[in-house]
Amino acid sequence: MNNNYILKKNISFVGITLLLTILYFFMRDSTWHGGIHLHTLMETIATMLALVIGISGLTRFMPNRMKNFFCL
């Protein structure tokens, strides 16, 4: 692989880790609570996302028979 690609990938991993750590310190004292409707909405979004990912995986696998992609 290209060293520049690996460097960019490592920088993005470190950046996301730092961002999530900083967000944790800002959000840990939050008194926000969700409800039944928010939970239902989030479950619906997660289900739709899983369906889209599954369909795209099958449509990419079936024409080319790329077994390494389908295993992911």
Q: What percent of the chain is predicted at pLDDT more than 70?
A: 83
Q: List the chain residues with pLDDT less than 70.
A: 1, 64-72
Q: Write down the pLDDT at residue 23.
A: 94
Same domain, 37 and 66: yes
pTM of the model: 0.51
Q: Which domain holds residue 2?
A: 1-32
- Residue 59 has a pLDDT of 81
Count of domains forming the chain:
2
Position 65 scores a pLDDT of 65
- Identify whether residues 23 and 53 lie together within a single domain: no
69 vs 9: CA distance, rounded Å: 20
Residue at token pair 């310190």? 25
Kindly give, in sequence order, each residue whose CB lies less than 8 Å from that of residue 70, ignoring residues fewer than 6 positions away: 57, 61
What pLDDT is stored for residue 72 in this prediction? 52
